[in-house]
Amino acid sequence: MSTKGTTQITEQDNLSEYSDPKLYDSENRDFEPDGPFILSLAKELGGRVLELGCGTGRLTIPLAENGVDIVGLDVVPGMVDLAKEKAGGLPIEWIVADVRKFQLGQKFKLIFEAGSVFHHMLTRQDQEAYLARVREHLEDGGRLALSIFFPKSHNLVSSDEEEDWFTAEHPDGYVIRVSGIDKYDALRQVKTETAYRRWTDASGKEMLQVAPLSLRYVFPQEMEALLHYNGFEIVGQYGNFDKSPVTEESRLITLICKKQPLPVG
């Protein structure tokens, strides 16, 4: 796969899935269903907005087009470069930074993520660093919005055989066949999804890219405790972006959180 305009990332970074921003962009384009939900929340709150893990601007750019004063932050430089290119002259501030370490010297009315960023936090220390940076950058009365996968028993398993996942067309014109294997570590609550992307290049040669991605699952009561002990109160909890309630059938849990004083002791 061409690496022009991409960032070379090692598997150890847990970011190899994002090493080809053009491919990522072709696989992640839709503003629906979460975009309108975030747009409505941003308009309701007013003020400046920060998106964590903005990727190639799937939500950042349409939000700016709808008048939201927004900053997009991502850890992968190539993703931010492509987002800038797509955004043209839109007044978006783009930042390359780690969500556990960023220091922007400004505060926001809304901080949100829509790319499973919290699931990339594989340890409690990572999770708490993420939440600490968010607290530092939220205005009084501001909100944090994020969605987590609702852990289900059928998701928290390992697959011994490679399974077909989907196909995608790369912007350079070739079709990529995507398959994968899942391995779940129950002790760490970490699922590693290894994607195998296969395509035929212009010379007819068969190509293969292997991209492992580890994500930590968080159970609902665990998430409530994490938020409480790190200075957040859940003020909204939904099972879908239409604000329907969480049920056992929900795929995601979407949380709206308000900054609170840190618990004493």
The answer to whether residues 108 and 202 belong to one domain is no
Q: How far apart are the C-alpha atoms of 116 and 113, rounded to whole Å?
A: 7
The answer to whether residues 211 and 225 belong to one domain is no
Q: How far apart are the C-alpha atoms of 70 and 45, rounded to whole Å?
A: 13
Q: 81: helix, coil or strand?
A: helix
Please report the pLDDT score of residue 265 as a whole number: 66
Number of folded domains in the chain?
2
Q: Which two tokens stand for residue 82?
A: 């492509």
The answer to whether residues 201 and 182 belong to one domain is yes
pLDDT band, very low/low/confident/very high, at 220 (cuts 50, 70, 90): very high
In this structure, what is the dihedral angle of CA atoms 227, 231, 235, 236, given to the nearest 10 degrees?
Answer: -30
Tell me the pLDDT of the chain averaged across its residues: 91
> What residue numbers bound the domain in which 198 lies?
163-216
pLDDT higher than threshold 80 for residue 3: no
CB 130 within 8 A of CB 121: yes
Where residue 173 sits, what CATH number does that domain have?
2.20.25
| Residue range 218-234: mean pLDDT, rounded | 97
The pTM score is: 0.91
Q: How far apart are the C-alpha atoms of 6 and 195, rounded to whole Å?
A: 18
Q: 8: helix, coil or strand?
A: coil
Secondary structure letter of residue 24 according to DSSP: H
The answer to whether residues 123 and 248 belong to one domain is yes
CB 241 within 8 A of CB 33: yes
| Residue range 44-69: mean pLDDT, rounded | 97
The answer to whether residues 133 and 116 belong to one domain is yes
Q: Which amino acid is at 9?
A: I
Per residue in 7-30, pLDDT (tens digit) is 333 344 789 899 889 989 988 889
Question: Which of 53, 11, 218 minimizes the C-alpha distance to 122?
Answer: 218
Please report the pLDDT score of residue 2 as a whole number: 31
Please report the pLDDT score of residue 8 as a whole number: 35
